[in-house]
Amino acid sequence: MDSVLELRNVRKSFGKQVVLDDINLTIHQGDIYGLIGRNGAGKTTILKTIVSLIHQDKGEILLFGRTHGEGYMKQLTRTGSVIETSVANNELTARQNLKYYCKVKGIVNRNAVDEALDFVGLSDTKNKKFKNFSLGMRQKLGLAIALLNQPDFLILDEPINGLDPIAIVEFRNLLIRLNQTRQITILISSHILGELYQMVTKFGILNHGKIIKELTMVSIYLCVGSS
């Protein structure tokens, strides 16, 4: 199976603090990969290095088989991401925010905004200002922004953090639909294992900047079944 993302011995420090310590990680096409770790474990730093918001001190990152330079940046156009918080303007409506991002990303598909709003279930509130959105609606709009360019790979930083149980189920179902109907590979981080186990195909457990364990859901089910 083709790999979408590979991290090879990736290391990152801020001053004397080692934040990522020789990270090795592979995500294959069709995976929903859950990156699990407590706050401060290095999850957001990994995601930022992938999308080139920060640069690693050592190691190699391959995205769709390309590493560094123009080839890597071109492959980044095949990704959609929401890292840390949804960057939407409080005074703009959902539709206005998406139109703004279409201009920023150079998206010319006239149907992109309506398709994204419809997919995440915000069509009925498209004219509501972002400042009046609930947390669940804000997370959905962030997902809609990430979907505007019809990505092959989606990177989401704790998108279900703080959501109520109903909103978690709704968001989880959206991601499963994306994976199954659009064949989008997904990397999603969380500090709570229980939030992700019902949708991911593989887990990476991050602790103090190290991937200490990788588990597939198949292996977990086999262990449970044999116990």
Close Cβ partners of 194 (under 8 Å, ≥ 6 residues apart): none
For residue 86, CA distances in Å to 51, 98, 108, 226 come to 15, 12, 22, 42
Residue 163: the pLDDT is 86
* 88: helix, strand or coil: coil
Question: What does DSSP say about strands 32-36 and 185-190: parallel, antiparallel, or unpaired?
Answer: parallel
Query: How would you write the pLDDT of the chain (227 residues) with one tens digit per residue?
Result: 699 999 999 999 999 999 999 999 999 999 999 999 998 899 999 999 999 999 999 999 999 999 988 999 999 999 999 997 667 899 999 999 999 999 988 998 889 999 999 999 999 988 899 999 998 899 999 999 999 999 999 999 998 888 888 988 999 999 999 999 999 999 999 988 777 888 999 999 999 999 998 888 776 665 545 44
- Dihedral of CA 89/94/96/102: which sign? positive
CB 151 within 8 A of CB 79: yes
Question: What does DSSP say about strands 3-14 and 58-63: parallel, antiparallel, or unpaired?
Answer: antiparallel
